[in-house]
Amino acid sequence: MIIILKIAIIPEPISVISTPGKFILTENTLIYSNKNLLDLSEYFRNLIYPATNFDLNIKSFDDKTAKNNSINLLLGENKTKLGAEGYDLEVSPTEILITAKEPVGIFYGIQTLRQLLPPEIENQNVVKNMEWDIPCIKVEDYPRFPWRGYMLDEARHFQGKDIVRRLLDIMALLKLNIFHWHLTDDQGWRIEIKDYPKLIEVGSKRDETQVGGLFSKKRDAFPHSGYYSQEDIQEIIDYAKNRFIKIIPEIDIPGHARAALASYPNLSCKGYPFRVSAHWGFHKDVLCAGKEEVFEFLQDVFKELVELFPSNIIHIGGDEVLKDRWKECSDCQKRLETEGLKDEKQLQTYFTNRISKFLNTIGQEVICWNDALDENLKEKIICQYYLRGKKKVFEYIRKGGDVVMSNFKYTYLDHSYSFTPLKLAYKFDPIPEKLEKQYHKHILGLEAPMWGEYIPNTKRLEWQTFPRLIAFSEIGWTPKSKRNFRSFYNRLNHLLERFDIMGVNYANLQKVKPNIFKRLLKVFSLITEEKGGN
């Protein structure tokens, strides 16, 4: 009898050729690698150890004796075609070979190998009477986009280190490489800044939380708090680095800053005391753009951030900045006058220019939401597109600006499954149809934002995130011509067997099938709280 082993890889590789036979992973399998890849050998050994109880021997190629029953991780100089992140994987009955130009490619080859093993490999307890078969195969693979991101908003609900580590693990499995960490907003400041202790003492706590949707007057009666010390942040950075994930921290300014204003009211236009906000939506009180102490504060905050985060990219928000206070503030109005600015929109551009210039001079790239785009921006800034202003974004791209796509309709993971069903999410293409070919290179990739207003716990967070993030991993990696929803859906079912074993929650697609009524609610379904996943 011929047993067909399942080949169900997500994201779908560039090329997969199935060949006869299988490799059987045993306790005698050896892992060979270049000397500088020994930590990746260890990563693989640790990955398969809990389920198999195989404590595999690791050796460098210098000590290579036998060829049979070995897994080989090889850096090859001639692999330029695969780019920085690509890899080749060849499984024969006697040997497995992963070759790549860079260690990250080897890491992704390992993730593909992991998906070729039975899903039981994800067990954290020993699985008895299991043959660890890997189908023979030849894979050639590299990503379509360099930016394949997931954003987590912990300002609205703090999740904590264990959950972040778990998400980073899943990101690695899906070959996602950017973790955008939304750490500050109106409802909470979540990162310790040593120069400004009140950001944590005051800004990381709120008394209560709005429940029942954006228009609801109802509050729960529970205080909510949480923050990351700089040691915690360092731990997460190291964890991400070992999974070839870059972390991009976001300090959302000058709007979405009520938690900072509650900590230091002098940073506002009005100066009066504030509470850390307990409700969602737009807030009128923002950082004052007229007072010098605001810029001193931000420079100090960013200096600490830059010391911590090695990614050298800082997200400065810039979304949904209401101008009401700036219009009434004598400091802001004076700034308008002395800088010769026409209006408060230009004042935001002044603000963005000043902060990004500072960040550039200390070696940082800057990214902001597309609300902050303006023809008077002076610095090179990556734009993260989400909603409105598409024309401006096209102009920006045609002038040479780089953009990450997070289109509201498709990529927002906080959306109900009636508004953004999996099938619609999978249709998303980061390259806009009308964008001329010569500008395609300015689309760096995509990012799926997980906004946190309605995710008080892990189960809900995972339910909103998966399986849609799995679709985005394929969109970010696989050539458009190879994408096929039916094929994805079949492979997804296999991947979700892994999620079941890992204990990761996800939306049951039978249960979230949008009915016609819910579909008609469209945007309204986003602003009324939706149950699910608990």
CB-nearer residue toward Zn ion: 269 or 444? 269
DSSP summary character for residue 281: S
Number of residues written out for the chain:
534
Task: Using the rule CB under 5 A, give the single segment among 160-168, 222-230, 267-275, 510-518 that binds Zn ion.
Answer: 267-275
* Active-site residue, from 157, 182, 224, 256: 256
CB-nearer residue toward ligand ACM: 12 or 250? 250
Task: Using the rule CB under 5 A, give the single segment among 191-199, 239-247, 327-335, 425-433 that binds Zn ion.
Answer: 327-335
Cα 245 from Cα 248, distance rounded (Å)? 10
Task: Using the rule CB under 5 A, give the single segment among 175-183, 290-298, 449-457, 521-529 that binds Zn ion.
Answer: 290-298
Under rule CB under 5 A, how many of the chain's residues touch Zn ion? 6
When asked if residue 321 is in the footprint of Zn ion (CB under 5 A), the reply is no
CB-nearer residue toward Zn ion: 332 or 495? 332
User: Is 414 among the catalytic positions?
Assistant: no
CB-nearer residue toward ligand ACM: 142 or 280? 280
The amino acid that residue 200 corresponds to is I
> Residue 391: CB partners within 8 Å, gap ≥ 6?
none
Of residues 99, 95, 90, 78, the one with CA closest to residue 17: 90
* Active-site residue, from 85, 185, 250, 447: 185
> Residue 292: CB partners within 8 Å, gap ≥ 6?
none
Cα 8 to the center of its chain, rounded Å:
23
> Residue 78: CB partners within 8 Å, gap ≥ 6?
none
Q: Measured from the CB of residue 284, what is the shortest distance to Zn ion in angstroms?
A: 12
* Active-site residue, from 120, 232, 320, 429: 320
When asked if residue 269 is in the footprint of Zn ion (CB under 5 A), the reply is yes
User: Is 500 among the catalytic positions?
Assistant: no
| Partner interacting with residue 369 (select from ligand ACM, Zn ion, none; CB below 5-8 Å by kind) | ligand ACM
Q: Measured from the CB of residue 81, what is the shortest distance to Zn ion in angstroms?
A: 54
Cα 309 from Cα 487, distance rounded (Å)? 38
| Residue least distant from ligand ACM (Cβ) | 319
* Edge-first strand listing for the sheet containing 15-25: 15-25, 132-141, 87-91, 95-100, 70-75, 30-33, 57-60
When asked if residue 288 is in the footprint of Zn ion (CB under 5 A), the reply is yes
Q: Measured from the CB of residue 405, what is the shortest distance to ligand ACM in angstroms?
A: 13
> What residues between 328 and 347 interact with Zn ion by CB under 5 A?
329, 331-332
| Partner interacting with residue 319 (select from ligand ACM, Zn ion, none; CB below 5-8 Å by kind) | ligand ACM
The amino acid that residue 313 corresponds to is I
User: Is 185 among the catalytic positions?
Assistant: yes
> What does DSSP say about strands 188-189 and 224-225: parallel, antiparallel, or unpaired?
unpaired
Assign residue 175 a region (left: φ > 0; alpha: ψ between -120 and 50; beta: otherwise). left
Active site residues: 185, 256, 320
